[in-house]
Chain A
Amino acid sequence: MLKRLRDPWPDHRAELTLGAVSLLVGGVVVAMVAFVGVHAWPTFSHNGLSWLGSGGTLETQIANMQATGVKAPASAYHLRAWPLVYGTLLSTVAAVVLALGIAVLSSIFIVELAPARLRRIAVPVIRLLASVPSVIYGLIGVLVLVPFVGNDLITASQKASVQNVVELTGAGLIVTVAILTVMITPIMVALICEALVSVPNSWREGAIALGVNPVRAILAVTLRAARPAIVAATVLATARALGEAIMISMVSGSRSFTPKPIDGLLFLFEPLRTLASAIVDYHEGVGAPALGSTLYAWALVLLFSAFALSLAGYLIKLPLRRYQVRG
Chain B
Amino acid sequence: MTSTPLLRVTDVHKSFGALDVLRGVSFTVAGGERVAIIGPSGSGKSTCLRAINYLEPPTKGRIELKGSVIGEREVAPGTWRRMSDTELAPQRAQIGMVFQLFYLWPHLTARENVALQPEKVGGLARKEALELADTMLAKVHMSHKAHEYPERLSGGQQQRVAIARALAQKPALLLFDEPTSALDPELVGEVLSVIHELADEGRSMVLVTHEIRFAREVADRVFFMDQGLIVEEGPANDVLTNPQSERLQAFLRQMHRQDRG
**Chains A and B bind each other:** no
